[in-house]
Structure 1
Amino acid sequence: MRQPAISDPTLWGLSADAGGTLRLNDVPLTSLAEEFGTPLHVVHEDRLLSFARRLQCTAEHEYTGPVAVHFAMKCNGVPGIVRLVREAGLRIEVMSELELHTAHRVGYAGCDIIVNGPCKSESFIRACLESHVRFIAVDSLAELDVLERLAAEMDLRPEVLLRVNPDIVPRGMNAGSATGSRSGCAFGLDLKGGEVRLALARFHRAPSLLFAGYHLHIGTGIRSPQEYLPAVRTLEMLLREARMLGFAPTTIDIGGGFASRTSREFTSLEMLKYQAFGRLPAPSAPSADPCEFIRFIAHAVHHAFAGERLPEVIFEPGRCVTGPHQFLLLKVHAVKHRPGAGTWAITDGGLGTVTMPTYYEAHDVLPCTGVSRPRSEHITILGPGCFAGDIVYRNLPMPSLAPGDVIALMDTGAYFTALESNFGHPRPAIVSVGRNGKTLLRRRETFDDTVCRDVMAIESHEVMS
Structure 2
Amino acid sequence: MNSQIRENQISQNGHLIIGGVDSVELAHQYGTPLVVYDVEKIRQQIRAFKQIFEEENVDYAISYASKAFSAIAMYQVANEEGAYTDVVSAGELYTALKANFPMKKVSFHGNNKSRKELEMAVENRVGKIIIDNFHEIDLLSEILKEKNSEIDVMLRITPGISAHTHEYDQTGQVDSKFGFDLESGQAEEALQKVLKNSRMHMLGIHAHIGSQIFELNGFQMAAEKLMEIANDWREKYNYTAKIINVGGGFGIKYVQSDHPLKPEEFVKAIVKTIKEKAQEFDFPIPEIDIEPGRSIVGPAGYNLYTVGSRKDVQGLKPYVMVDGGMGDNIRPALYQAKYETVLASDPRAKATETVRIAGKYCESGDILVENQALPSTKPGDILAMLDTGAYGYSMASNYNRNPRSAVVFAENGRASLVIKRETLDNLISLDRFYE
What's the TM-score bracket when you normalise by the shorter of the two chains? over 0.9
Q: Secondary structure at the match of 1:362?
A: coil
1:42 and 2:18 correspond: no
User: Could you tell me how far apart the structure 1 residues matched to 2:413 and 2:25 are?
Assistant: 17
Q: Measure, in 2, the Cα distance between the counterparts of 1:294 and 1:21.
A: 36
Q: Given that residues 21 and 414 in structure 2 are in contact (C-alpha distance below 8 angstroms), is that contact kept between their aligned partners in structure 1?
A: no
Judge conservation of contact 1:151–1:157 (CA < 8 Å) in 2.
yes
CA separation of 1:419/1:87 partners in 2, compared to 1, >3 Å: closer, same or farther?
A: same
**Structure 1's 173 and 97: CA in aligned 2 closer, same or farther, altered over 3 A?**
same
1:145 aligns with 2:118: no
Contact (CA 8 Å) 1:115, 1:135: kept in 2 or not? yes
Give the corresponding residue for 1:382: 358
Correspondences of 1:136-175 after superposition (within 5 Å): 136-170=129-163, 172-174=164-166
Aligned to 1:180: 172
**Partner SS for 2:433:** helix
Structure 1 distance, partners of 2:272, 2:356, is 45
Distance 1:189 1:109 in 2: 29
SS in structure 2 at match of 1:455: coil
What are the residue-to-residue correspondences of 1:26-41 with 2, within 5 Å?
Answer: 26-41=20-35
In the alignment, does 2:430 pair up with 1:453? yes
How far does the alpha carbon of each residue in 1:64-110 deviate from its partner, in whole angstroms, 9 at most, with x for none? 33211110001100221221122111111011111111111112222
2 CA distance for matches of 1:343 and 1:213?
54
Report SS of the residue matched to 1:223: coil
Q: Does the CA contact (< 8 Å) of 2:154 and 2:202 recur in 1? A: yes
User: What amino acid maps onto 2:9 in structure 1?
Assistant: S
Whole-angstrom distance in 1 between the partners of 2:249 and 2:198: 34
Query: SS in structure 2 opposite 1:81?
Result: helix
Could you tell me which runs of 5 or more consecutive residues in structure 2 were left unpaired when the two chains were aligned: none
Per-residue deviation, 1:14 = 5.6
Q: Kindly tell me: are residues 131 and 445 of structure 1, through their superposed partners in 2, closer, same or farther at Cα, counting changes over 3 Å?
A: same
Partner Cα distance (2:244, 2:306) in 1: 46
* Aligned counterparts of 2:220 and 2:45: Cα–Cα separation in 1: 24
Distance, in Å, in 1 between the alignment partners of 2:166 and 2:325 is 26
User: What pairs up with 1:82-231 in 2 under 5 angstroms?
Assistant: 82-170=75-163, 172-174=164-166, 177-183=169-175, 185-231=176-222
TM-score (norm 1): 0.88
User: Residue 16 of structure 1 corresponds to which residue in structure 2?
Assistant: 10
Q: What corresponds to 1:432 in structure 2?
A: 409
Partner-residue secondary structure (3-state), 2:117: helix
1:252 maps to which of 244, 249, 255: 244
Shift of 1:422: 2.1
Tell me, yes or no, if the aligned pair for 1:59 and 1:69 is still in contact at 8 Å.
no
Q: CA deviation at 1:20?
A: 3.4
Match of 1:358 among 329, 332, 335: 332
Change (3 A) 1:93 1:380: same
- Count how many residue pairs are aligned between Structure 1 and Structure 2: 429
Residue aligned with 2:299, SS: helix
With the length of structure 2 as denominator, give the TM-score of the two structures: 0.93
Amino acid at match of 1:135: K
Structure-2 residue corresponding to 1:267: none
What are the equivalent positions in structure 2 for 1:260-339 lying under 5 Å apart? 260=252, 262-263=253-254, 283-306=256-279, 308-339=283-314
Q: 1:122 to 1:425 in 2, by over 3 A?
A: same
> CA RMSD for the aligned pairs?
2.0
Distance 2:195 2:216 in 1: 36
What is the aligned partner in structure 1 of residue 386 from structure 2?
Answer: 410
| CA distance in 1: counterparts of 2:147 and 2:361, whole angstroms | 50
| Residues 157 and 194 (structure 1), Cα distance of their counterparts in 2 relative to 1, 3 Å cut | same
Amino acid at match of 1:453: L
